[in-house]
């Protein structure tokens, strides 16, 4: 009787079956993403701080809320709605801007930081592939930050709605923010906008991760200077600014594709969402292709790279 028969696979084919099952059980992608959240607390602390500051400013502004509401009720319905929605829109814009800033600086340090503090030697000793490591880092700005920003933004706006409604009712004002600001509708618009923004900025995050994978220092300069030099060279040599326009389009060019913006440059209705136009735009898919290429190079650079 062979004592190893109960523990060893009977053939190489059996070992090939067991290995994927073991990887599935350990869930390397899941724990890699969890590790990023543990090691980078600014991912969730920064939006909480922004939300707290926004709420503080809102609480101070409620001192004169009844007087402002009486003045607003004298306006036409369209301007009433714009005035009532303005504080909620400001909070949403602040938190969306925070998500972009956090995503940019996270990507710049994601692969560079582990080489700088030599922790890459430890992570390379674990059974986690370079592809899994890079994809887990890319998932933070594209897959984690949008829902996190959405939850914090909606919670902040609901607190504002409850507080302002209570104050207005206490002063005998029948018109409350709920009559002009719809939490459900605006939350759906916000969620759609965050998803569209994350997809549109995917090549930006891919480029920053690529720079982070090879730059030895000053990752921000290495990420920005080549783009500025190309723009300057085009301007000097050809007298055009096509590359600079392309970069500007990559930052905010998704808005006219994802939304049918009204004449007053506001998005306040679900009827203004145009997902078909956005998903069928060549700019989106070309950008995603560049993002995939940047990430593939970043995986290669991490595989070949070491501590600095």
What mean pLDDT is reported for the chain?
Answer: 85
Within a domain: 20: no
Which stretch, 78-92, 120-134, 181-195, 284-298, has highest mean pLDDT?
Answer: 284-298
Q: Does position 108 have pLDDT exceeding 90, yes or no? A: yes
User: Containing domain of residue 150, as a range?
Assistant: 28-304
Q: What is the pLDDT of residues 139-153, one digit of tens each?
A: 999 999 999 999 999
> What is d(CA 37, CA 120) in angstroms, rounded to the nearest whole number?
17
Q: How far is CA 216 from the centre of its chain?
A: 26
Say what the pTM is: 0.85
Within a domain: 232: yes
Mean pLDDT score, 154-160: 94
Which stretch, 112-116, 131-135, 292-296, has highest mean pLDDT?
Answer: 292-296
Give pLDDT, residue 149: 97
> What is d(CA 249, CA 262) in angstroms, rounded to the nearest whole number?
20
Q: Does position 278 have pLDDT exceeding 60, yes or no? A: yes
Within a domain: 3: no
Residue 273 β-bridge partners: 259
Q: What is the pLDDT of residues 22-57, one digit of tens each?
A: 455 568 888 888 989 998 999 999 999 999 999 999
Q: At what angle are helices 42-61 and 145-170 packed, to 10 degrees? A: 20
Helix, strand, coil % (nearest 5) of the chain? 80, 0, 20
Within a domain: 211: yes
- When pLDDT is cut at 50, 70 and 90, the band that residue 164 belongs to is confident
CA 28 to each of CA 31, 76, 130, 303: distance values in angstroms, whole numbers, following the listed order: 5, 57, 11, 17
Q: Is the dihedral of CA 149, 204, 104, 121 positive or negative?
A: positive
Within a domain: 21: no
- Whose tokens are 């714009």? That residue is 82
> What is d(CA 115, CA 183) in angstroms, rounded to the nearest whole number?
45
Q: What is the pLDDT of residues 202-243, one digit of tens each?
A: 999 999 999 999 988 899 999 999 999 999 999 999 888 999
> What is the number of structural domains in the chain?
1
Within a domain: 5: no
Ranking 1-10, 54-63, 255-264 by mean pLDDT, the lowest is 1-10
């Amino acid at each position: 009787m062979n004592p190893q028969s109960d523990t060893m696979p009977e053939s190489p084919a059996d070992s090939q079956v067991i290995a994927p099952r073991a990887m599935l059980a350990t869930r390397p992608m899941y724990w890699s993403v969890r590790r990023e959240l543990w090691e980078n607390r600014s991912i969730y602390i920064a939006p909480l701080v922004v939300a707290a500051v926004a709420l503080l400013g809102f609480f101070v502004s409620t001192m004169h809320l009844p007087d402002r509401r009486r003045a607003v009720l004298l306006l036409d319905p369209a301007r009433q709605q714009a005035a009532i929605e303005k504080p909620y829109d400001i909070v949403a814009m602040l938190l969306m801007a925070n998500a972009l800033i956090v995503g940019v600086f996270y990507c710049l340090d994601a692969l560079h930081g582990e080489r700088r503090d030599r922790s890459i030697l430890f992570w390379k000793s674990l059974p986690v592939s370079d592809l899994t490591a890079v994809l887990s880092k890319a998932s933070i700005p594209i897959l984690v930050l949008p829902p996190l920003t959405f939850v914090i933004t909606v919670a902040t706006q609901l607190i504002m709605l409850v507080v302002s409604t209570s104050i207005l009712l206490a002063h005998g004002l029948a018109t409350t923010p709920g009559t002009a600001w719809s939490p459900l509708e605006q939350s759906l618009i916000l969620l759609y906008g965050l998803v569209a923004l994350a997809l549109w900025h995917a090549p930006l995050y891919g480029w920053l991760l690529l720079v982070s994978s090879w730059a030895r220092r000053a990752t921000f300069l290495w990420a920005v200077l080549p783009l500025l030099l190309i723009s300057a060279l085009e301007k000097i040599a050809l007298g055009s600014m096509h590359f600079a326009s392309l970069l500007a389009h990559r930052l905010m060019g998704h808005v006219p594709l994802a939304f049918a913006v009204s004449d007053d440059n506001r998005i306040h209705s679900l009827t203004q969402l145009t997902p078909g136009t956005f998903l069928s735009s060549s700019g989106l898919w070309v950008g995603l292709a560049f993002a995939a290429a940047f990430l593939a190079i970043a995986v290669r650079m991490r595989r070949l790279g070491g501590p600095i």
